[in-house]
Chains A and B, each alone.
Chain A
């Protein structure tokens, strides 16, 4: 049993105390064992074990992480107790999980999602760990691992870029060239349509892929800094810059696959597999849909084309996953040792051996075993000036899921009435970001 911030602060009776009681009862009713947190901490804990909260519930990542922890145990003699939860459940419960009695370290995502919990005091800073592992990472990864207070909170492990994917054989067959500018991209779309292809495969049934499309156009057009400001709720959605993103996007919408809101990304990817679509802007996980080895070898990608030469192609969207230290780890020393191990190139190499669909966050990791696709992704990320984390990782998740997802679906289906849509987003954003 250890201390909880809930049990510590209970001032005298007031309306708030009553509310607290009510809220606590509400949580109890929801079956969340929040109240199990009890006062009084005990220093005595098993120093030979570190517990890990893991969201790696799928077979491939589960094995990858399992292998890393096994290697750590072998090296240090410290046992790792892995507590795996279903990926989505882990995400939905993270809030209460971190307030209760979390494991010593837990797997999480870089970006605002990490900073949010860091700012709430639900994670411990790990600057001491970064003193040891800092040299293994490029500067963009350093930035990604810091909270808003400038302290480090995350050890990044894996990442993978978003880009425009295509099939080499299709480009060869029609004599297409990789577009590097927006005009060339639009011209290519036109040509593909003429040739009877769907220029851009698209599926937004799950509501998040459109956020990726927005991000790409936004930081190509307005730059990385504006992306950060907009995601942090500082810039206005009614700004002419945002309006321009939607106008630019609308220019290519006629070349996107019809009926996107009813299609999953997997189905959209299948049109690329079947050579019915010419391009598909998505994360590198699109490769998972290429089950045939020959098809996979035919898959290639290029960076999203330049729109404003002032920003070129300097920003790459590369969602990064890693590990954080919980607020009061029982075995602090052991946890730090584990985090230091996770920050080594060796740990990443072990993981990638099990899961070749991702890329190591460290530049020190051995790339010789990478596939051509992985190598290209690696170069793209290490050459990037800025790394972004995808809209729902760079902004408040409550804002992106309740406001942006439906708004973007609406836009994709019917790009008219942008101004009304943007002012509605801005109004809702204000109240959400004001709620602290």
Chain B
């Protein structure tokens, strides 16, 4: 009601007498009343400032780094920017011994996160959803790692993995010559060691997402399936899990993002040394520093961007399609 009164001006409410001034001339008048000059300035600023900031900080920088990917530049003066075409990419694909392992590790990162902590988080969520005793305590305990920053988790797990004084090697006596296990330095071990730490955190994250999803499941569905004589597993498999579809989509997207932006944990752990290389770390190593290879680093960033787009675009398309249908 109130919206009607504001949009309908007295003039517009009147039925225009036939043959009188055309309604066209009245329309702008109505609009003028709708938005005063001040309103329009306010709205313009509210929409304009963020737009300019967004374009400058997101689009221009993204496009600039794409452009820079085809140049070499040490960051000193704009005169030293030199156009090199696809040279950076060629070098990256053919010569950089860290590039392919880094790409592989980003993929491994995703596969592991989706294969281990995600089902584990779902399992925990289902258990906690049953209103067992101390449910809140467990919930807090599993969620606690999510509150910590990845960098802090890196520091904590380093204490566990330190080959000389760390928890594991001290307990199993693997810090002596001959039996030595180098969790951080051995490329066959270090990625998995880091992934345990990442999974430790991701499990809690997934649990909370699924717990939220489970809260949204209609209780009457459970009731109906139990009336039909379904056991717990059957109920979960045939009734509950299918209703979690929207949550699963979110989980998938979140996990892909986590795998692509993986950085802080590894950077703290061993700076992406052999065995733990990641694309994000290669970008940083090439761009940050006293004489940086900005063009080359941008080329790596572009690769990362392309991978992200390959993942994000199908997701957006399917989301928009769903919205249009609804």
Contacts and interface: CB of A to CB of B under 8 A. Distances in A.
Interface of A: 5-6, 9, 15-16, 19-20, 22-26, 28-30, 91-92, 94-96, 99, 113, 116, 120, 122, 198, 204-207, 258-263, 267, 270-271, 396-398, 401-402, 406-407, 409-410, 413, 424, 427-428, 431-432, 435-436
Contacts of B79: 9
Given A22-B67, A26-B68, A198 B177 contact: yes
Contacts of A25: 56, 60-61, 64
B190 to A, nearest CB: 8
Given A262-B163, A397-B291, A24 B182 contact: no
B81 interface: yes
A407 B73 CA distance: 24
A262 B95 contact: no
Contact of A406 (B164, B177, B274): B274
Interface stretch (B118-126, B129-137, B147-155, B282-290): B282-290
Contacts of B177: 198, 258
Interface residues of B, number: 56
Contacts of B74: 95, 398, 435-436
A246 B222 CA distance: 69
A435 B293 contact: yes
A424 B95 contact: yes
Interface string B48-68: 000000001100110111011
Contacts of B163: 259, 262-263
A410 B98 CA distance: 11
Given A22-B60, A263-B163, A398-B293, A258 B180 contact: yes
A427 B96 CA distance: 9
Given A205-B184, A397-B290, A398-B289, A261 B273 contact: yes
A95 B162 CA distance: 35
Interface in B271-315: 271, 273-274, 285-286, 288-293, 295
A94 B290 contact: yes
- Chain B interface secondary structure, helix, strand, loop or mixed? loop
B73 A113 contact: no
Contacts of A116: 290-291
A92 B61 contact: no
A25 B161 CA distance: 42
A6 B77 contact: yes
Nearest to B70: A19
Contacts, number: 156
Given A19-B71, A410-B274, A401 B289 contact: yes
> Which of A28, A29, A267 is the most central at the interface, judged by chain B CB atoms within 10 Å of its CB?
A29
Chain A interface SS verdict (over half): helix
27 contacts: A5-B77, A19-B67, A19-B68, A19-B83, A22-B68, A23-B68, A23-B81, A29-B57, A29-B60, A30-B61, A95-B290, A122-B76, A204-B185, A258-B177, A258-B180, A258-B182, A259-B163, A261-B274, A262-B184, A262-B185, A263-B164, A267-B165, A397-B289, A401-B289, A402-B293, A431-B87, A436-B72
B75 interface: yes
Contacts of B245: none
Contacts of A270: 164
Contacts of A424: 95, 97
B185 A413 contact: yes
Nearest to A420: B97
Contacts of B98: 406
Contacts of B60: 22, 25-26, 29
B104 interface: no
A256 B207 CA distance: 46
Contacts of A432: 293
Nearest to B95: A427
B208 to A, nearest CB: 32
Contacts of A271: 164
A407 to B, nearest CB: 8
Contacts of B274: 261, 406, 409-410, 413
